[in-house]
Amino acid sequence: MDVSILGSTVARYLPLGTWLGRPLDLLYSRLGGLNGSLFFHKGWGDLGCVNLRDDLEVISTWPPPQPLGLEWRLLERSSWRGIPFRHFEGTFRTPCVERVYNALPPESRQGRVQLLIPDGYSAGVLHLAATGDQGWGRRLRLGWPMMQQGVATMVLESPFYGARRPCEQRGAKLRHVSDLLTLGWATIIESLHLLYWLGEEGCSAKGLYPLDDLSVVPLLAPRSAAVAYCDGAMRPLMAWEALEVNAERVAAIVQSAAQAVSHLREASYALEALEDVRAAQQRSLASSGEEHADKQQQQQQQQQLLREGQADAALGGAASDRVKAALVDLLLSQRQGHREQQRAFDHLRMVLETYTDVNRYPRPRRPDAAVIVAAESDAYVSTESVRQLHHYWEGSELRLVSGGHVSAYLLHQSSFRQAVLDSLQRLGTPGHPQR
């Protein structure tokens, strides 16, 4: 479902859309789950697809040794409100390191980008996709009016989305957790190369080249993917049962990847969660005793269920002992299901905090030019998460708009554009780059 379908209706009733911000987010999330598929229904995948230590070294050696090799075709040459422009679509081989390249499905290995460029442009903006944003339209819609200020708009199609979506994937629902990590790291590398290309093509007047002076404008974006996937409106869309396996392996990966390295801070949120999980496991072991005591307790629970007559009631009293025992096991598993889902929840949170927490990564060189926009009643992205990012990017500006995630996109696009333009403008004033 395209969020823009709701636009014409909600925009007519702006106060109502603002008041219904959070409920509208929850409704939109539920509608997104109607096709029957869930995120990560194939499990964890290969979490070794991203190696933070090695991959950050690639970024630290800049500029890139080879150009991106973009191939362009002209889609349209026309004018918009009296402004001559050209609209291009480009393709390129993703410049990821071999490990990440091989982890991408074949469909995702060719990048796709569109460029909306007015005559006499002086600045360029790269718009990245939100979760589920598979087309060009939403982000190009932000870009059209900014041509009046001489701003070119580049829109990157993310791996696993649109024409880069693997044939086995239904919609935007990634099959493995590792797909999200691969998508994220490929997007980082591709974005850096595209920004470098923009700078080489003449957008340096507004700081796109060199990358030292880069304006960053997070729009309704969380500090970490864990905020949206584990705490926000997307939580019911996770295939928690598929993530209940390999808990010890996942914990070991988190323990290693969460450590600080030369360019990366310690993943404090992930390590705190890991300690909480381990403490809970210790308490569980202390209360339940040894393995023999656990089995004895399970047998006692089975006998209790039989005495309560739940199996007989469910089967109408006409079933063999073997069938009754199977039903007892099912009832027990239902009682234990919440505990298993909590374990999967804890481990997904740890992984996402380890790999996607922006507060682990170096700050922008010009945080004073960053403008962060959040929605007051966002059910996907908590304002607390956005404030944590704002606090880490010391000197950045935080702007709050009314409504929720969906209604903010529909009703506050002019605020988003103004945030981008203000951020670009600040690059033209003296600042204090962070080293």
Neighbour count for residue 19 (Cβ, 10 Å): 16
Question: Is 157 exposed, middle or buried, given 0-12, 13-18 or 19+ CB atoms closer than 10 A?
Answer: buried
Q: Structure tokens of 186?
A: 């490929």
Q: Which of 87-91, 217-221, 252-256, 402-406 shows the lowest mean pLDDT across its residues? A: 252-256
246 vs 391, more confident: 391
Is residue 5 scored above 50 in pLDDT? no
Residue 4: pLDDT band with limits 50, 70, 90:
very low
Amino acid residing at 427: L
116 vs 19, more confident: 116
Mean per-residue pLDDT, 289-295 = 51
Residue 207: pLDDT band with limits 50, 70, 90:
very low
Neighbour count for residue 57 (Cβ, 10 Å): 14
The contacts of residue 372 (CB under 8 Å, 6+ apart) are: 217, 218, 221, 386, 389, 390, 393, 396, 397, 398, 399
* pLDDT for residue 208: 36
Please report, rounded to a whole number, the percentage of residues in the chain having pLDDT higher than 70: 77
Distance (Å, whole) CA 228 – CA 234: 6
Note the pTM of the prediction, 2 decimals. Answer: 0.82
Distance (Å, whole) CA 150 – CA 141: 16
* pLDDT for residue 212: 54
CB 146 within 8 A of CB 420: yes
Residue 289: pLDDT band with limits 50, 70, 90:
low
Residue 335: pLDDT band with limits 50, 70, 90:
very low
* pLDDT for residue 279: 80
CB 388 within 8 A of CB 382: no
* pLDDT for residue 28: 87
Q: Which of 23-27, 30-34, 321-325, 358-362 shows the lowest mean pLDDT across its residues? A: 321-325
Mean per-residue pLDDT, 375-401 = 96
For the chain, first and last CA: distance in Å? 43
Q: For 120-150, what is each residue's pLDDT tens digit?
A: 888 889 999 988 888 898 899 999 999 999 9
Cis omega before residue 364 (within 30°)? Answer: no
Q: For 92-125, what is each residue's pLDDT tens digit?
A: 999 999 999 999 999 999 999 999 999 988 888 9
Q: Residue ranges per domain, the chain?
A: 38-211
* pLDDT for residue 132: 83
Is residue 311 scored above 50 in pLDDT? no
Residue 375: pLDDT band with limits 50, 70, 90:
very high
Q: Which of 157-166, 199-208, 245-254 shows the lowest mean pLDDT across its residues? A: 199-208
* pLDDT for residue 17: 54
Residue 304: pLDDT band with limits 50, 70, 90:
low
